[in-house]
């Protein structure tokens, strides 16, 4: 069977854009499907990116699609931290310049078809592809603690694009990382009457507004990778997934935990003066009241609030991607929701690749962050180009 497409890439965020660009640079035909930067556009207005300027690059740290090239073109001299709105605009610029023929339709289903794949699009049209790259992001992986479900008075920090909707309300936020604290700050700045952050840990990890590279002079770039993931020395290891994969599993887990533990930028901390932060306590129970919710805290106290918001992150489970058919999922070997991937971020289903957070079990914490798109895009492109050249060689030989 002759496929319509060589490679179909599903999802037009940083990883989908990067993978498509690198595939095309490697001479491999790739078609990107999806709405550009859709997940990021759903995030709360007013947020800023925690990553430093280098790690905010998509595609490549230096080059025609880098953040600097974008800023030079628009005549801006943006400095850290990068506002969410600016990053979204950068993503659209990357799409217009790097993947101008983006197909904005979403993919409704992917299934096997012969040696390739059949993709049904949202309008009912079907196409076939020899290879598929899933770059569908983490929106489907929002995590709430067991026993809680989103509703009118309970939500996840990722459910809101405009936190001004909580003006005049009392809100409790559960979590100890960037999303919890920044959402709390934005709600208060937009008129919430009272905001409290409930943190299970005894302390909060605050990230300073400088990079260790700045403090260490010429040694900095050696000790600290431009990807900006993980502490000194660990960052270089995390930025090299091929090396990270060689470590014993327990060592990988230790390094990954250190690299992605809950933390918050110092630029948020300095805005928390009017927000109550309760450390070393947990939410035990929630009861509805005529005026809202009553929260029972592990220290024996209670809180009466209008809304409860969870900043409890995301948990990868690729079975929650609605477009992957049962037949596909049955063939994907998984561990704790993550697909087990080999070279080129390829799954146990031949020529089916996963990039972004789903690749973290196999390639480490770097692929949870925007800067991991540099590695993922190039890695998939190398694998596809090598496979293609081998196919041509076999065809010529036969």
* Count of other CB atoms within 10 angstroms of residue 74: 11
Residue 254 lies in a domain: no
In this model, does residue 259 exceed pLDDT 50? yes
Please check whether residues 306 and 158 belong to one and the same domain: yes
Residue 353 lies in a domain: yes
Please check whether residues 110 and 182 belong to one and the same domain: no
Please check whether residues 305 and 320 belong to one and the same domain: no
pLDDT at residue 397, rounded to an integer? 38
In this model, does residue 321 exceed pLDDT 50? yes
In this model, does residue 8 exceed pLDDT 50? yes
Residue 37 lies in a domain: yes
Q: By residue range, what is the domain housing residue 293?
A: 154-205+262-310
The mean predicted confidence, pLDDT, of the chain is: 92
Please check whether residues 9 and 104 belong to one and the same domain: yes
Q: Which residues of 79-103 are buried (b: 16+ CB within 10 A; e: fewer)?
A: ebbbebebbbebbebbbeebbeebb
In this model, does residue 398 exceed pLDDT 50? no
Please check whether residues 303 and 169 belong to one and the same domain: yes
Among 13-22, 46-55, 188-197, 315-324, the least confident range: 46-55
Structurally, how many domains does the chain consist of?
2
Please check whether residues 92 and 120 belong to one and the same domain: yes
In this model, does residue 395 exceed pLDDT 80? no
Please check whether residues 174 and 283 belong to one and the same domain: yes
Asked if 356 contacts 15 with a C-beta cutoff of 8 angstroms, the reply is yes
Residue 218 lies in a domain: no
Please check whether residues 87 and 178 belong to one and the same domain: no
Please check whether residues 60 and 113 belong to one and the same domain: yes
Residue 215 lies in a domain: no
Residue 188 lies in a domain: yes
Write down which residue in 310, 334, 368 finishes a domain. 310
**Residue-wise pLDDT tens digits, 340-392:** 999 999 999 999 999 999 999 999 999 999 999 999 999 999 999 998 776 64
Asked if 14 contacts 91 with a C-beta cutoff of 8 angstroms, the reply is yes
Q: What is the pTM of this model?
A: 0.92
- Using alpha carbons, list the distances in angstroms from residue 79 to 53, 56, 361, 371: 7, 11, 33, 17
Residue 359 sits in a domain of what CATH number?
3.50.50.60
Please check whether residues 105 and 37 belong to one and the same domain: yes
Residue 65 lies in a domain: yes
Among 220-224, 233-237, 296-300, 394-398, the least confident range: 394-398
Among 54-58, 138-142, 167-171, 384-388, the least confident range: 384-388
Please check whether residues 302 and 326 belong to one and the same domain: no
Residue 194 lies in a domain: yes
Please check whether residues 85 and 15 belong to one and the same domain: yes
């Amino acid at each position: 069977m002759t496929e319509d497409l060589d490679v179909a890439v599903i999802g037009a965020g940083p990883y989908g854009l990067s993978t498509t660009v690198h595939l095309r640079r490697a001479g491999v035909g790739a078609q990107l499907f999806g709405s550009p930067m859709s997940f990021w556009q759903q995030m709360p207005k007013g947020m800023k990116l925690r990553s430093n300027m280098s790690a905010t690059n998509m595609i490549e740290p230096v080059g025609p699609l880098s953040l600097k090239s974008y800023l030079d073109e628009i005549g801006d001299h943006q400095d850290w931290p990068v506002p969410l709105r600016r990053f979204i605009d950068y993503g659209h610029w990357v799409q217009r310049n790097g993947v101008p023929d983006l197909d904005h339709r979403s993919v409704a289903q992917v299934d096997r078809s012969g040696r390739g794949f059949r993709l049904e699009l949202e309008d009912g049209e079907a196409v076939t592809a020899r290879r598929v790259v899933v770059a569908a992001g983490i929106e489907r992986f929002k995590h709430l603690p067991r026993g809680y479900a989103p509703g009118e008075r309970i939500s996840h920090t990722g459910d809101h694009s405009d936190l001004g909707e909580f003006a005049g309300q009392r809100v409790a936020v559960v979590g100890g990382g960037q999303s919890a604290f920044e959402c709390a700050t934005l709600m208060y700045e937009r008129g919430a009457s009272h905001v409290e952050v409930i943190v299970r840990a005894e302390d909060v990890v605050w990230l300073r507004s400088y990079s260790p590279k700045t403090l260490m002079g010429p040694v900095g770039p050696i000790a600290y990778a431009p990807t900006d993931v993980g502490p000194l020395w660990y960052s270089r290891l995390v930025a090299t997934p091929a090396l990270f994969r060689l470590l014993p599993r327990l060592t990988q887990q230790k390094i990954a935990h250190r690299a992605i533990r809950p933390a918050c930028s110092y630029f948020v901390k300095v805005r928390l003066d009017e927000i109550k932060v309760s450390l070393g306590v947990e939410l035990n129970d929630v009861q509805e009241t005529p005026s809202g919710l009553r929260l029972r805290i592990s220290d024996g106290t209670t809180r009466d609030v209008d809304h409860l918001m969870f900043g409890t992150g995301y948990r990868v489970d690729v079975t929650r991607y609605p477009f992957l058919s049962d037949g596909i999922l049955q063939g994907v070997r998984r561990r704790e929701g993550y697909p087990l991937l080999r070279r080129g971020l390829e799954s146990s289903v031949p020529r089916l690749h996963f990039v972004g957070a789903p690749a973290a079990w196999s390639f480490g914490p770097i692929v949870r962050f925007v800067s991991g798109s540099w590695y993922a895009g190039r890695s998939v492109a190398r694998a596809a180009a090598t496979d293609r050249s081998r196919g041509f060689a076999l065809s010529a030989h036969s």
